[in-house]
Amino acid sequence: MPRLDRLLTLYCFRPLCTLRLANNPAVPILMYHSISDADESVHPYYRINTLTKVFADHMRFLAAQGYRTISLTEAGAEECDSRSVVITFDDGYDDFYFEAFPILKACGFQATVFLATAYVDGERFRGRRCLNWEQIRELHKAGVTFGSHTHTHPQLRYLSRPAVVQEIRKSKNIIEDRLGSAVTDFSYPYRFPEENGEFTTFISDELRNAGYTRCVTTMIGRYRSGGGALFMKRLPANSADDEALLSAKLKGSYDWLHTPQYLIKRIRSLID
C-alpha cells in the first residue's frame, strides 16, 4: 500500500513549498533512535530503527548537499542558514557507539543523544541494549552532547506530579554526576501532549526549575528561531526515508503533518 504521508509530501506539499519565500528560515532537527540492521514489521511512520546503510546514505546526502550540523543551542541563533541541521538520537541505544558514531565522525558531524538513565549499564530497553557509562564518557570526550530522556522513559502525563518531577530531575543529576558537565537539553518521551495546556505549562515550569533550557518533542516540523526552546519540533527519520523524502523533510515539505497530528491528539483527548 502506498505511504500516504510520503505521497502528499512529495506530490502536493513539496510543489507548494517551492512557491513560498523563506522569510523566516527554519532549522530541521532530525530524530533518530536505533541504528542497526534489525527489521521492523510496523508502518513506516512508526519505525524507530534505521538500517546502518540507510543512515550512512542519509549522512552522505547531507554532506553532499552542504549541510552543517549544529547544536540545539545554536539552532536558535540568527546566523543559522538553510544548510544548518541538528541530529538527535532518543533512548541511547549502544548501536549509536558501534554504528552511528563512526559514520557521523567520518562526515564531520556532531549529534545529541538523549539517555533514559535507568537503562544505562542495566536491563535492555525495548529489547535493545543501551550505552554504558564507559562508552558515554568516551563519546562525550569526542564531542557528542548528552541530554536527558527521563530516568525510566514513562508516559509522563499518566504519572503523579511529584513522580514527573522525579523523572525529570533524577536523569539530569545522574548524567551530570557521571560526566561532570551541565545537562541542559531534554527530550520528551512518547507522544507530546501539546493539546493539554495545563500539563504542558506544568512541564515547562518544572523543566526550567530543574535547569533545562531546551526540550525537543515528537511534534512534527522544523524549528523556527523565536519559536521558543520549549518545546521544539523535530522530523522523524528512519529506514523508510529515501533521498527524496529526506530532502523534502529538510526543506519543510513535511511540516504540514503537524496539523493532522495535533487534530488527532485533540480528538483523542475528547474521547479519553
pLDDT score of 177 more than 60 = yes
pLDDT score of 24 more than 60 = no
The answer to whether 242 and 258 have CB atoms below 8 angstroms apart is no
202-244 per-position pLDDT tens digit: 999 999 999 999 999 999 999 987 667 889 999 999 999 999 9
Question: pTM for this one?
Answer: 0.95
pLDDT score of 135 more than 90 = yes
Residue 190: CB atoms within 10 Å: 14
2: pLDDT confidence band, cut at 50, 70 and 90?
A: low
Joined together, the cell numbers standing for residue 137 give 564518557
Residue 229: CB atoms within 10 Å: 18
pLDDT of residue 79: 63
pLDDT of residue 188: 98
So where are the chain's domains? 25-271
pLDDT of residue 39: 83
d(CA 146, CA 111): 9
**CATH code, 25-271:** 3.20.20.370
pLDDT score of 21 more than 80 = no
Average pLDDT value for residue range 237-261: 96
